[in-house]
Structure 1
Amino acid sequence: MIRAGRLLKGTGIMGRIARPLAQQTASLAPRIGGAQRCSYQNGPDLSEKETIVKLLYNIGSKKEVEQYLRHFSSVESQKFAVIKVGGAVISDDLATLASALTFLNRVGLYPIVVHGAGPQLNKRLEAAGIEARYEDGIRITDGPTLAIAREVFASENRKLVEALERLGTRARPITSGVFVADYLNQEKYDRVGRIVRVNREVVESSIRAGCLPILTSLAETPQGQILNVNADIAAGELARVLEPLKIVYLNEKNGLYHGTTGKRIETIHLDEEYEDLLKEPWVRYGTKLKLKEIKELLDTLPRSSSVAIISAEHLHKELFTHSGAGTLIMRGHRLFSEQDLAAVDSGRLRALLLELDPAISSGGQPAAEEFWQRLEQLKAGGGQVWVYGDEPGQVAAVVTRAAGETASVLEKFVATKAAVLGNITDNAWKLIVRDHAQLVWSVPRADDGLSWHFERADGSWAVGDQVVFWHGIQDWALISSLIGTKAAALGLSPSGQTPGSGTAAAAAPTGSRCYSTMARRQFGALPGSAPAGRHGYATAASSSPVRVGLIGARGYTGRELIKLIDAHPQFELAYVSSRELAGQPVPNYTKAPLNHVNLSAQEVGDIARAGRSVVDVWILALPNGVAAPFVDAIDSATALLPATSQSQPIVVDLSADYRFDITGQWAYGLPELHRKDLASWTTGRITNPGCYATGSQLGLAPLLPYMDATRLPSVFGVSGYSGAGTKPSPKNDPKFLADNLIPYAPVNHIHEREIGHSLTRIARPTYPFSPANPLMVQFTPHVAPFFQGIGLTLHVPLRMSMNAKDVHEIFSQFYRGERLVHVTKDAPLVRDNAEKHYAVVGGFAVPLANGDQGSASLAERRVVLNVTLDNLLKGAATQAIQNMNIAVGIDEYTGIPVPEHPTMSQC
């Protein structure tokens, strides 16, 4: 039975929702006998979905539930969750498992299930008189064992699929075709596999058909030999390819448990806790191996991914509430604490409080200075101060203790959106309570994250518009004194009434949780509040205009940027710098009268010193080799500002100067291939790709898993002469170009290196190349007599035969939902795509033998395709706007004139 979570603990409401929520959901589904074919569906019936969502409100606030639904629905369906199911769960708790999966599907989610069958296999082997043998914890799988394993896996897979279909949930049994493997060690383990490639199309095809994919962990060699693979490993390899938000390991224990205290471990932040955790005497054998495997997995995934270890019974509570139910494991960030105020970056702390703390921001800089002075006075008077933070400057807390007092006061606790998404706040709380056995703090009743505080407090008391919380305090006289002190500061009695109003002061609290559970629920879901808790801490977003400084406005790209910013609903120009045009009015800008200026690098640094209060985003539209002084000036000027996207100005560089950055400071701004990195980037530095490089990568990326690493892909490119810039040369002279086509830089072009470098960065373990064996590309550019636009013809060597239909399908699925990449069967034309903001990919062709799936020769295993885009727009200005939108946290396509609802990336 699904038990009530912390929000309901100790209340009479528990009995009223004792029936498992997943089973309530399943009862809403039609009873369907026998197997059912999958058919495409747009999602669950809306009225049914609303009913199911309302059931979720029994375990958490409406705001919590809706946030997680939006979060999980914000990614492609196959990137929601990979769930590993142990064989014991299928044999012992099949009904609960099917109900839990049905529950998720009824709210429009598509978890991908990878199951094992260890206990069932052992039972069958014993009945057959075959001894189960292990080496290093790995099952030795000989021929007879594998034969029985195939039968057992198929049988257990069928049981789960049929259980789902009885609840009206479409499911597809997938017992082969997903995992390609080599022998792990044939002499030692016999038919045990090491996965070398994952065929994601099989899984994605199931989801497109509206079916939950139910996978076994059996794999095949390229020659067709079946190999046994541990289900945990198979689920991990699938996650590496799909990069889901959640990787869930279902077990009967409902999480990991501390070997000394016996308590369930709620969260593990690996960056902070991993090394110390491995030193614990109880972390050994299977537990140690599991933690190592999870760390290795999460190290290869975006920081937004996390692992949950949970029982099937509590799966929905883990996913849809802040308190969770099992063990949540994420990477997090390292934290620090400091008691010496001289060692604290006070400017950085003040800026973070000004940005995120309402009490400080409402009073402005004087309030921040006053707070800091109060901390210094407290220290001078013999008190103590602790300042907590993380390395990226995304979270900060201040704790004080007056001289002679035993309880500490949590004065401030603020976090940026990045800290929310990275789940850093819970780890900071652990550090605080480790240092302070007794802690008290107060929060406004209207605070967005009130529920977060209730979850961590031992008790609470409402005083006026504030709630006083305490942790670790058992002395009721002390608690009463603390409440009285807060009430006096607010000019109220402890009951919350104004003195003299005729209401007697409240008595001292008499229970361990004085603020009732029902009241907690009332104030834990205020209208407009952002959810918080174990999975995050609430913050607010600003709706102020985003002010842009453009350096280098004379070029063609600069002119396009001005037009796009003028039409953008949330951007406005603060400065437009051009040495040649200084003093002249800025053309094509109608939001306000604005003249060109001539800003030096030092002047840009002086402006940047004010952070984002003057300029939010700097765009450097400068020639190659010129950006560095401006970037250095901005970095030096803002070195003392908090390293957050809300304080540090964003820099978008359109030159090639930082496209090969290896310091980790610059994000590569090709959103269709690097969107997750851009969304989670904390440095605010983005390098815009080159125009040729953008089109080439869009044409190559979908084929990366299928390339032949022994042969180089080639790109033949032709650009309009606007790509040669405004400085006069034969390459932008219309007379010289008339009736002409000019090749240039036939080898070692900078875009040639950029294409290979960038695509290598997104390589997966299953690809035929890696940083140790980087992708190389042959690229030959040309200039034509038209003004703008690029046409590319790509020759891509393949490892296997494909026909044109296969290739078209690969591209259609890869760019499904991308509004700035359209896929077409026909070869796109440059003139049709000039002045358009999207790229077009198409014209897929293969040699005859290759296309006929015959015994194609090496030279015939290739595909030819075409890409067109506007070099000034998607190749430069439009892409810069796209990156800026992502960086400031608004919709990626804001201000970009593209069709609202492209048809499945089809042109």
Structure 2
Amino acid sequence: MLRASRFLKKGAGAIARTPSVAAAATAASIVSSSSHSRIQTRMYSYQNGPDTSEKETIVKLLYNIGSKKEVEQYLGHFSSVESQKFAVIKVGGAVISDDLATLASALTFLNRVGLYPIVVHGAGPQLNKRLEAANIEARYEDGIRITDGPTLAIAREVFASENRKLVEALERLGTRARPITGGVFVADYLNKEKYDRVGKIVRVNREVVESSIRAGCLPILTSLAETPEGQILNVNADIAAGELARVLEPLKIVYLNEKNGLYHGTTGKRIETIHLDEEYEDLLKEPWVRYGTKLKLKEIKELLDTLPRSSSVAIISAEHLHKELFTHSGAGTLIMRGHRLFSEQDLANVDSDRLRTLLIAHDPEIASGAATAASYWQKLAELKNEGGQYWIYGDEPYQLAAIVTRKPGQAIASVDKFVATKAATLGNITDNAWKLITRDHSQLVWSVPRTDDNLSWHFERADGSWSVGDDIVFWYGVEDWKKISDIVAAKGEKPAIAASAKQQPTGTGARSYSTMARKPASAFGGARRSYSTASSGAPLRVGLIGARGYTGRELIRLVDTHPRFELAYVSSRELAGKPVPNYTKASLDHVNLSAQQVGDLAREGRSNVDVWVLALPNNVAAPFVAAIDSATAGLSADQQPVVVDLSADYRFDKTGQWAYGLPELHRDSLLASTTGRIANPGCYATGSQLGIAPLLPYLDSTRLPSVFGVSGYSGAGTKPSPKNDPEFLRDNLIPYAPVNHIHEREIGHSLTRITKPEYPFSSANPLRVQFSPHVASFFQGIALTLHVPLRMSMNAKDMHDIYREFYQKERLVHVTESAPLVRDNAEKHYAVVGGFAVPPSDGLLEESSAGLAGRRAVLNVTMDNLLKGAATQAVQNMNIALGIDEYMGIPVQDTPTMSSSS
């Protein structure tokens, strides 16, 4: 039974669209103007395509995104059509204003492998800004911008300017681009009386686009249209991109957004795939699918219904465009028509001839002649006669088939066969089939040769695995792995290695996997960089740079008690040569490592140090990061060491290389990160964001939240100053940095990154916060009092309910009704939020008179600045990045977060 289970051999290709552990950033960054100028100099203008050797080099770099097989599969797929039918990419104005360098790099990369994406861009935020400066009110009707003469005049200037910016950015990277600000879209007035100069596209002049591609230039289009008489009309960029797609019928229609996809309104997780034929009707019934989301889905459905079934829509950020296009795992949200799936328990109910044809073409046993379809049908019939069961899964055109069997008296079912055509693979129908199978079967087992090209797919979906001879046996949903042992023993075979041992499957690059049972990656909402598990595996080695400070000391204590971590190096200039205190796992002395020495050690990758922690002052980390990046540039993604920076140096990163390490608010982006670079938040910023985040949907955008913060003097570091002098602080409270504190900017910047489209804040209109820090005479801990303006009235119970629901699954955030105290959670690893209050109707005079009663939330947050504000959070981030349990090694008090008292 076990050896009969084979997934997608030979013609089947790699499968499914799941979170991948491979790094997209390596390929994406090769044209970055900041760190790869040497490679840029080789990127020169060309007439009919890139130089062959250059293309081969870049294709090899693509292998860092995914497997060679899948990259070549997609390249072949994209190059199989005419150049103008590769992709239409719609770019929002915010992407141009906020992420121009990343966008230009992404488009250049595609062009370097011989592809010609057609870009249609908007400029909404830029236009609004110009209109505001000109004292012209931006007016909308039914969500459509009313475009009068003055508005249109400014719009033409803005569109031309933004178009020029993108073209120039591409040409600076050596990519030929042609600005096309008119002549493509012919339109009539949509409704002149209602919307004025707004157009409805009636014809697309494709020759303008195709001539640009024939000349070797990327066409960069604005969405302005003209009437046959020459009147300029404004057209929504989404609509313009859709109309262009209807004429060109491309393989891909890509909508770039800052959110990197569509997100589920209930779970908050990114939706990886939507197969419209299977899911559309049910999706529209979801309570969160409304307003703009519903309109977007309907527009995409109408568009794809008019295009070939091979066309698809991708919603993705510019920085992840390569991974979306060249890997089965994808990175954003993929939407396609797909096909309806079926599940039958009787061979008589399926088209056996079409199923036979599929198995002959793609099942290795039947294709090789070792078995026939007829003999296999007979085995299924005998199984049923003996009291067993079988299930046949497939899609309408029989591009995919899976057969699951269960013997009499057994609870565990076997995935006996799973085969798919290339079309099913590229269409990610395989992933939908797996969801259907696991919906019907809570416990599964299957077997795959160790040499299989698609082992990574199986490890992604399995809860555990066991090496048996030349095969690997996988299981799903089986908590007691001894049941798997019994199945193997019944076959008379002995496992080649213990189930708890770590192994390196062949044929999958340098990825390493643990074989003990674990939660599937999907349970955590995203990909992991490795598959090490909590209960087994070799120790994970930590290099700590900057051990003299208080945070460094706390990190050493946490590593000392962590089940999986051990210290490899502890670097401190002042303490070099002295023993490392509070560390009992080994006798270890401090060393003094320069940036170059750290780079030399990092060159060995994860075999030497799994994670480097930089516990350094601000503006000091950059040389160490540069040395690590340079030394490990040639390593595969899973061999790249993780880097956690505790300073503020990378918290405002715009390159997409650094994830922001506040898991309670940014867990999805941490899980999805493929770079292993994490910027650990500041202590004040952590507490302030935990306090404000649940109220983001209710904020009044006309008033600023304010935070009054008091920290213990350990927050001032170990360098002597009045702020950490106990005598100076005695009976004292010291205010400092009353304006523009770096945490003030960090709070607004990072909260803006998690706002949703319906919120009044965005990257173009970021949230701003007022913050006043103080230092007091206690040693460690932080107390914050937050005043948050609301756009609606609520009471203290409303607030408590909102916070209790928001943090109900977070083990390191406790919610209380009463105001938390610093002393109660000093030296604890969690933050506490409570003390909810709002001004009553007879409250502050200015609020009452302005009708603002009940529209200002007041609350308190406390936490330990050295732990959840620094060291504990660093360990939390290290655990996530290394693929082990998020809370491992963190003493967690499992008090329910909805507790009513502190």
Check conservation: 2:401, 2:418, Cα contact below 8 A.
Answer: yes
Are 1:71 and 2:59 matched, yes or no?
no
Query: Per-residue displacement from partner, 1:271-308 (whole Å, max 9, x unpaired)?
Result: 11111111111111111111111111111111121111
Three-state SS of the structure 1 residue aligned to 2:137 is coil
Change in CA separation of 1:516 and 1:267 when aligned onto 2, cut-off 3 Å: farther
- Tell me the distance in 2 between the aligned counterparts of 1:137 and 1:67: 41
Check conservation: 1:135, 1:189, Cα contact below 8 A.
Answer: yes
Residue number in structure 2 paired with 1:493: 494
Three-state SS of the structure 2 residue aligned to 1:232 is helix
- Tell me the distance in 2 between the aligned counterparts of 1:517 and 1:7: 16
Query: Per-residue displacement from partner, 1:159-196 (whole Å, max 9, x unpaired)?
Result: 11111111111111111111000011111111110000
| 501, 517, 521: which one aligns with 2:509 | 521
- Tell me the distance in 2 between the aligned counterparts of 1:345 and 1:19: 45
Residue number in structure 2 paired with 1:324: 330
Check conservation: 1:195, 1:234, Cα contact below 8 A.
Answer: yes
Question: Post-superposition shift, 1:421?
Answer: 5.0
Which runs of 5 or more residues in structure 1 are unaligned? Answer: 496-505, 525-533, 535-907
Which runs of 5 or more residues in structure 2 are unaligned? Answer: 1-17, 513-521, 523-902
Residue number in structure 2 paired with 1:20: 29
- Tell me the distance in 2 between the aligned counterparts of 1:448 and 1:508: 22
Show the 5 A alignment for 1:109-120: 109-120=115-126
Change in CA separation of 1:247 and 1:22 when aligned onto 2, cut-off 3 Å: farther
Check conservation: 1:31, 1:166, Cα contact below 8 A.
Answer: no
| 487, 495, 500: which one aligns with 1:509 | 500
Cα-Cα RMSD: 2.9
Residue number in structure 2 paired with 1:403: 408
Three-state SS of the structure 1 residue aligned to 2:437 is helix
Query: What amino acid is aligned across from residue 343 of structure 1 in structure 2?
Result: N
Query: Per-residue displacement from partner, 1:318-365 (whole Å, max 9, x unpaired)?
Result: 11111111111111111111124553455554454344312234446x
Are 1:162 and 2:168 matched, yes or no?
yes
Question: Post-superposition shift, 1:468?
Answer: 1.9
- Tell me the distance in 2 between the aligned counterparts of 1:342 and 1:436: 22
Change in CA separation of 1:445 and 1:516 when aligned onto 2, cut-off 3 Å: closer
| 411, 430, 444: which one aligns with 2:435 | 430
Check conservation: 1:303, 1:422, Cα contact below 8 A.
Answer: no
Query: What amino acid is aligned across from residue 499 of structure 2 in structure 1?
Result: A
Check conservation: 2:26, 2:61, Cα contact below 8 A.
Answer: no
Query: Per-residue displacement from partner, 1:770-812 (whole Å, max 9, x unpaired)?
Result: xxxxxxxxxxxxxxxxxxxxxxxxxxxxxxxxxxxxxxxxxxx
Residue number in structure 2 paired with 1:682: none
Question: Post-superposition shift, 1:414?
Answer: 1.8
Three-state SS of the structure 1 residue aligned to 2:182 is coil
Question: Post-superposition shift, 1:216?
Answer: 0.5
Query: What amino acid is aligned across from residue 237 of structure 1 in structure 2?
Result: E
Residue number in structure 2 paired with 1:360: 366
- Tell me the distance in 1 between the aligned counterparts of 2:82 and 2:423: 21
| 127, 133, 145: which one aligns with 2:133 | 127
Check conservation: 2:28, 2:109, Cα contact below 8 A.
Answer: no
| 50, 59, 81: which one aligns with 2:56 | 50
Change in CA separation of 1:105 and 1:352 when aligned onto 2, cut-off 3 Å: closer
TM-score by length of 2: 0.52
Check conservation: 2:465, 2:474, Cα contact below 8 A.
Answer: yes
Question: Post-superposition shift, 1:145?
Answer: 1.0
- Tell me the distance in 2 between the aligned counterparts of 1:345 and 1:52: 44
Query: What amino acid is aligned across from residue 128 of structure 1 in structure 2?
Result: A
Check conservation: 1:7, 1:517, Cα contact below 8 A.
Answer: no
Query: Per-residue displacement from partner, 1:470-505 (whole Å, max 9, x unpaired)?
Result: 2333333334444x25xx64x64210xxxxxxxxxx
- Tell me the distance in 2 between the aligned counterparts of 1:328 and 1:16: 20
Question: Post-superposition shift, 1:455?
Answer: 4.1
Change in CA separation of 1:20 and 1:194 when aligned onto 2, cut-off 3 Å: same
Residue number in structure 2 paired with 1:380: 385
- Tell me the distance in 1 between the aligned counterparts of 2:330 and 2:426: 15
Are 1:265 and 2:271 matched, yes or no?
yes
Query: What amino acid is aligned across from residue 91 of structure 1 in structure 2?
Result: S
Query: What amino acid is aligned across from residue 494 of structure 2 in structure 1?
Result: S
Residue number in structure 1 paired with 2:528: none
Are 1:91 and 2:113 matched, yes or no?
no
Residue number in structure 1 paired with 2:479: 474
TM-score by length of 1: 0.51
Change in CA separation of 1:156 and 1:357 when aligned onto 2, cut-off 3 Å: same
Check conservation: 2:312, 2:334, Cα contact below 8 A.
Answer: yes
Change in CA separation of 1:15 and 1:360 when aligned onto 2, cut-off 3 Å: closer
Three-state SS of the structure 2 residue aligned to 1:8 is coil
| 365, 368, 376: which one aligns with 1:371 | 376
Higher alpha-carbon deviation: 91-100 or 461-470: 461-470
Query: Per-residue displacement from partner, 1:245-282 (whole Å, max 9, x unpaired)?
Result: 11110001111111122221111111111111111111
Change in CA separation of 1:32 and 1:216 when aligned onto 2, cut-off 3 Å: farther
Show the 5 A alignment for 1:568-647: none
Question: Post-superposition shift, 1:150?
Answer: 0.8
Residue number in structure 2 paired with 1:227: 233
Check conservation: 2:328, 2:426, Cα contact below 8 A.
Answer: no
Residue number in structure 1 paired with 2:260: 254
- Tell me the distance in 2 between the aligned counterparts of 1:356 and 1:319: 25
- Tell me the distance in 2 between the aligned counterparts of 1:18 and 1:518: 24
- Tell me the distance in 1 between the aligned counterparts of 2:28 and 2:252: 26
- Tell me the distance in 2 between the aligned counterparts of 1:190 and 1:356: 58
Change in CA separation of 1:343 and 1:6 when aligned onto 2, cut-off 3 Å: closer
Check conservation: 1:180, 1:198, Cα contact below 8 A.
Answer: yes
- Tell me the distance in 2 between the aligned counterparts of 1:240 and 1:289: 18
Show the 5 A alignment for 1:183-194: 183-194=189-200
Show the 5 A alignment for 1:450-461: 450-461=455-466
- Tell me the distance in 1 between the aligned counterparts of 2:426 and 2:60: 25
Residue number in structure 2 paired with 1:763: none
Check conservation: 2:147, 2:234, Cα contact below 8 A.
Answer: yes
Question: Post-superposition shift, 1:446?
Answer: 4.4
Residue number in structure 2 paired with 1:8: 21
Check conservation: 1:445, 1:523, Cα contact below 8 A.
Answer: no
Query: What amino acid is aligned across from residue 272 of structure 1 in structure 2?
Result: E
Query: What amino acid is aligned across from residue 507 of structure 1 in structure 2?
Result: A
- Tell me the distance in 2 between the aligned counterparts of 1:18 and 1:75: 24
Query: What amino acid is aligned across from residue 23 of structure 1 in structure 2?
Result: S
- Tell me the distance in 2 between the aligned counterparts of 1:285 and 1:111: 30
Residue number in structure 2 paired with 1:100: 106
Check conservation: 1:245, 1:306, Cα contact below 8 A.
Answer: yes
| 292, 297, 314: which one aligns with 2:298 | 292
Residue number in structure 2 paired with 1:145: 151
Check conservation: 1:26, 1:167, Cα contact below 8 A.
Answer: no
Residue number in structure 2 paired with 1:80: 86
- Tell me the distance in 1 between the aligned counterparts of 2:83 and 2:25: 34
